[in-house]
DNA sequence: CCCTCATCTGAAGACCTGTTCATATGTACA
DNA sequence: TGTACATATGAACAGGTCTTCAGATGAGGG
């Protein structure tokens, strides 16, 4: 509960209240990490493709329009974070979406994006 | 709707079916973009702090333990994407979480992270 | 066995992102 | 008006991430 920044606080009560409710650094990092895995269009496409069921690497490459190497790299990352899981059959590898939490996030995000599509006139200070 | 990658497709039906359901490139990019904004621990902390209501920049800096410059930069980004909005009062700027969609994502993510916290021994998943 | 095919991996380069330092803007108040 | 303060901005540097290329692994078929 050390402060280190309390010098110029305006609303001290709100600040400590919010600090109380703030998740631990570990939780925040963990959550940011998950969002980071969903933040790449190609990875996102892979996961969306897997929403309907398992697919092998070459089909994932075909669906998402990436090289199989890129797909493999992406799946490796997702696998390391237990977001997808692999089933092997001969020389094929079938991947499925394993993390229900991520599935929920995807559902929420996609549902809203379809509605909000037109409402994104951003592009302000960056490009 | 040409394929361009259909050479090595295994399950052609599944592939075209999934391709049908795949959101447009714009939607995917847009969604990945939103996830990207949530993928930074400091930005995430800012947004979590704003879940309870508006706060000024210096208080946000105090709550999240960042420099005010860093906070201002982060808020600028979030503002450009209409995720937060600013209310000015004198020389203070009070920011609030403006995008209900993002609020929902945060709620979902944080709820699950609190439960899943212990279950993240990220390793390479193979058997 | 040897060759092919599906997938995986490592290394390297280009690209993007976040932080910091210095400075600018603009409001309040003496 | 001039100083103090809250916030905003720009440029630059450091570190990370994604893609690609080349080669490795391991299963299946002749």
Question: Does B119 have pLDDT greater than 60?
Answer: no
Q: DSSP characters for B75-98?
A: HHHHHHTTSEEEEEETTEEEEEE-
Of B8, B80, B116, the CB nearest to A124: B80
B36/A32 CB distance under 8 A? no
Q: Which one, of B36, B27, B29, lies nearest residue B83 by Cα?
A: B36
Burial class from Cβ neighbours inside 10 Å (0-12, 13-18, 19+) for residue B38 reads buried
Count A/B contacts: CB-CB distance under 8 Å. 203
Question: Does B127 have pLDDT greater than 50?
Answer: no
Task: Tell the CATH topology of B33-115.
Answer: Arc Repressor Mutant, subunit A (1.10.10)
Task: Provide the H-helix boundaries in chain A.
Answer: 12-21, 25-37, 41-50, 57-64, 68-80, 100-116
State whether residue B125 is helix, strand or coil: coil
A63/B104 CB distance under 8 A? no
| pLDDT value, residue B125 | 38
B80/A53 CB distance under 8 A? no
Tens-place pLDDT, residues A96-111: 999 999 999 999 999 9
| pLDDT value, residue B40 | 98
Task: Find residues whose C-beta atom lies within 7 angstroms of strand C.
Answer: A 56-58, 68-69, 72-73, 75-76, 86, 91-93, 126; B 8, 10, 36, 39-40, 42-43, 66-67, 69-70, 73-74, 77, 90-91, 124, 126
B62/A116 CB distance under 8 A? no
Q: CA B95, CA B77: separation in Å to the nearest integer? A: 13
Tens-place pLDDT, residues B15-70: 999 999 999 999 999 999 999 999 999 999 999 999 999 999 999 999 999 999 99
Beta strand B55-56 pairing with B92-97: antiparallel
Contact A71, B11 (CB under 8 A): no
- Where in chain B are the domains? 33-115
Q: What DSSP state is assigned to residue A95?
A: E
- In the stretch 61-100 of chain A, residues with CB closer than 8 A to chain B read 61-63, 65, 76, 79-82, 85-86, 92
Residues of chain A contacting B117 with CB distance shorter than 8 Å: 26-27, 30
When pLDDT is cut at 50, 70 and 90, the band that residue B116 belongs to is low
Q: What is the pTM of this model?
A: 0.88
Specify the CATH architecture of the domain A33-116.
Orthogonal Bundle (1.10)
Q: What DSSP state is assigned to residue A22?
A: S
Q: CA A113, CA B29: separation in Å to the nearest integer? A: 10
A120/B30 CB distance under 8 A? yes
Tens-place pLDDT, residues A31-54: 999 999 999 999 999 999 999 999
Q: Which residue has its C-alpha nearest to nucleotide D25's C1'?
A: A91
Distance B30 CA to C25 C1' (A): 32
């Amino acid at each position: 509960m050390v402060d280190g920044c309390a010098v110029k606080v305006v609303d001290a009560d709100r600040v400590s209240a919010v600090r109380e409710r703030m998740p631990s650094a570990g939780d925040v990092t963990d959550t940011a990490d998950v969002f980071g895995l969903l933040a790449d269009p190609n990875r996102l496409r892979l996961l969306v493709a897997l929403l309907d069921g398992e697919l092998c690497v070459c089909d994932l490459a075909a669906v998402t329009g990436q090289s199989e190497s890129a797909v493999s790299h992406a799946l490796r990352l997702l696998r390391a974070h237990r977001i997808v899981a692999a089933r092997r059959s001969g020389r094929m590898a079938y991947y499925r979406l394993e993390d229900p939490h991520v599935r929920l996030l995807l559902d929420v995000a996609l549902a809203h994006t379809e509605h909000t599509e037109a409402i994104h006139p951003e592009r302000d200070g960056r490009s």
